[in-house]
Amino acid sequence: MIDYNSGQITVYDFDNSCFGWYMFDLASIWGNGMGWIQFEPDAEKRKKFMEDYFEIVLAGYRFRSQIRSNFMENIIDAFEVMRNNSEEPECDEELSYRIKCIEDDIPYMGFFP
């Protein structure tokens, strides 16, 4: 990453990121869940919603830890966008690959053997 104001360069080592891909799934799900409640003005209601939401998410995730929750969310979102834009549902190359990862149990978009 380059900070264009200072010229400072930050190097990230992504080799270790493969060990925390479950966290990526959960972080993505958390972020997507916030979208459902983000405009609620009452902070306590937002907090309660997210606690309940994530309790359900974690229960399911623990039950089926191999589920590719992030893929599912992205696949569902892609079709929802098509529907909302009155488009015919179709799979482009990226969407087809995400579906293949779930069908063939390919973890995290094929980053692992």
Residue range 34-56, pLDDT digits in tens:
888 889 999 999 999 999 998 88
High-pLDDT (> 90) share of the chain, %: 11
CB 64 within 8 A of CB 21: no
Q: How far apart are CA 7 and CA 5, in angstroms?
A: 6
Burial of 101 (0-12, 13-18, 19+ CB in 10 A): middle
Task: Tell me how many degrees the CA angle 104-109-110 measures, rounded to the nearest 5.
Answer: 70
Q: For the segment 4-33, what is each residue's pLDDT rounded down to a tens digit?
A: 888 888 776 555 555 555 667 777 888 888
Is residue 94's pLDDT more than 80?
A: yes
Is residue 113's pLDDT more than 50?
A: no
Closest Cα to residue 74, out of 18, 24, 17? 24
- At residue 40, what is the residue type? E
First vs last Cα of the chain: how many Å apart?
28
Q: How far apart are CA 77 and CA 94, in angstroms?
A: 13
